[in-house]
Amino acid sequence: MTEKLHAPVIAWFDAHARDLPWRRPEAGAWGVMVSEFMLQQTPVNRVLPVYEQWLARWPRPADLAKEAPGEAVRAWGRLGYPRRALRLHGAAVAITERHGGDVPAEHAQLLALPGIGEYTAAAVASFAYGQRHPVLDTNVRRVLARAVTGVQYPPNATTAAERRLARELLPEEESTAARWAAASMELGALVCTAKNEGCARCPIAAQCAWRLAGKPEHQGPPRRGQTYAGTDRQVRGKLLAVLREAHAPVPQAALDRVWHEPVQRARALDGLVTDGLVEPLPGGLYRLPLT
């Protein structure tokens, strides 16, 4: 089963992989790490311009580590989930202090960095260093759910069974395993998509358990939607936008103008302060964090 999956998916990837800057050799491990932080819950087309600007400004972890964390939040722009910017800054500081400014190659050392979870550690070790690790993002999980398990969608949260399956499916050879990780992810992004899947273009359609079963409808818990309008996330984004544009502390009155509902606005601002994304100052002033 595993051999029948690996060869056609990797061959498809060789022919159809997108030319993305973090896949080029010159990106290095730092470029791969930056891309992995930015691509969490954010599509490639939104990440590309911010990624290019980020690497031009901070080509090495030490360059970012020298800056205030608020500058990372400012440069993050409208990518969303800005705590990722703080985590990436924290990882850059740790890499500079613990590893001489070079992104470590060992999975355990990657996992020990602040803001790095199991997925990101495996992705950097695999994509940057060609190591053999199961890399389970949403796209890979969907491909495995359909091709092997025979269901339309994976569970809402990654399960032990999924991790076990991903390990069992890993090619033995390190370089092939790393290629399989990238190829299965790209297949999920471009062909085996959440909606309007392109089975006619899929290199493993003939052996896909879900397709062979007649594409049964999803039977699990309802899938989480991505609501935004009117949420605290939207208010937080509007507050941060004001602070990103300002290069001096901002008065409360300027923040009050971004949202009409005072209770929700205050809750969103309190949340930003609690998350370390905004620093309150005496006199009712606010700024992006300096420490």
| 74 pLDDT more than 60 | yes
Residue 81 is predicted with a pLDDT of 92
The mean pLDDT value for 116-143 works out to 97
Q: Provide the CB-side half-sphere exposure for 92 (13 A, CA).
A: 26
Per-residue pLDDT of 230-289, as tens digits, reads: 889 999 999 999 999 998 999 999 999 999 999 999 999 999 999 999 999 999 999 999
Per-residue pLDDT of 149-162, as tens digits, reads: 999 999 989 999 99
The one-letter code for the residue type at 170 is L
Rounded CA-CA distance 195/118 in Å is 27
Rounded CA-CA distance 158/34 in Å is 23
**Domains detected in the chain:** 2-129 (1.10.340.30), 232-287 (1.10.10.10)
Question: Lowest-confidence range among 8-17, 42-51, 170-179, 214-223?
Answer: 214-223
Which positions ≥6 away from 39 have C-beta within 8 Å?
Answer: 47
Residue 4 is predicted with a pLDDT of 86
3-state secondary structure 33-71: HHHHHHHCCCCHHHHHHHHHHHHHHCCCHHHHHCCCHHH
pLDDT band at 14 (very low <50, low <70, confident <90, very high): very high
3-state secondary structure the chain: CHHHHHHHHHHHHHHHCCCCHHHCHHHHHHHHHHHHHHHCCCCHHHHHHHHHHHHHHCCCHHHHHCCCHHHHHHHHCCCCCCHHHHHHHHHHHHHHHHHCCCCCCCHHHHHCCCCCCHHHHHHHHHHHHCCCCCCCCHHHHHHHHHHHHCCCCCCCCCCHHHHHHHHHHCCCCHHHHHHHHHHHHHHHHHCCCCCCCCHHHCCCHHHCHHHHCCCCCCCCCCCCCCCCCCCHHHHHHHHHHHHHHCCCCEEHHHHHCCCCCHHHHHHHHHHHHHCCCCEEECCCEEECCCC
- For the chain, give the percent of residues with pLDDT over 90: 91
Residue 227 is predicted with a pLDDT of 73
Rounded CA-CA distance 76/164 in Å is 35
Per-residue pLDDT of 81-122, as tens digits, reads: 999 999 999 999 999 999 999 999 999 999 999 999 999 999
pLDDT band at 180 (very low <50, low <70, confident <90, very high): very high
Per-residue pLDDT of 182-234, as tens digits, reads: 999 999 999 999 999 999 999 999 999 999 999 999 887 777 666 777 889 99
End-to-end CA distance of the chain: 52
Catalytic residues: 36
Residue 220 is predicted with a pLDDT of 77
Beta-ladder partners of 250 = 286
Does the predicted TM-score (pTM) go above 0.85?
Answer: yes
